Structure 1
Amino acid sequence: MKARVHVMLKDGVLDPQGEAVRHALGSLGFEGVNGVRQGKVIELDLAGEDPAAAEAEARKMCEALLANTVIERYEVEIL
């Protein structure tokens, strides 16, 4: 079973990488980009066939390692 985890900075947390991307897009002529937030996607290949158990296990992984829950939020998608 596959799980996809999306990790993004929480609203209100400064995103210097996103700001650098926004600036670079403007330098390349892409006008009208007022903000960019950058995150990461993690795909997990999990054993088992129970979607609820897979989601629970992926959430435990996020809380323990994959996301810094003080400044990041995450979403788990079971594929």
Structure 2
Amino acid sequence: MAIEMDTSLPSIRFLQQYVKEHTPIELQTTTGDRLVGRLAWQDPIYFCIRDDGGHQYLVNRQLVVYVKPVDAPGEG
């Protein structure tokens, strides 16, 4: 059974803008890990974060405390 992405939810549409605009973000998890990079994609279960070194991290949505935009290096 496939899990569908509910694009009617404001949070899904908002985060999709981060993907589309390649917005640098900071993501904090319930385990205390902090990832900084760009949101490459999202699905109903995971976020994929890509850091400046090209490494990709899959983070379970249920473990996310917050996602916020950050200034890109050299900006702001």
Q: Using structure 2 for the length normalisation, give the TM-score.
A: 0.32
**Relative CO higher for 1 or 2, CA cutoff 8 Å, sep ≥ 6?**
1
Q: Which has the larger radius of gyration?
A: 1
Larger strand proportion of the pair? 2
Q: Please identify which structure carries the higher helix content.
A: 1
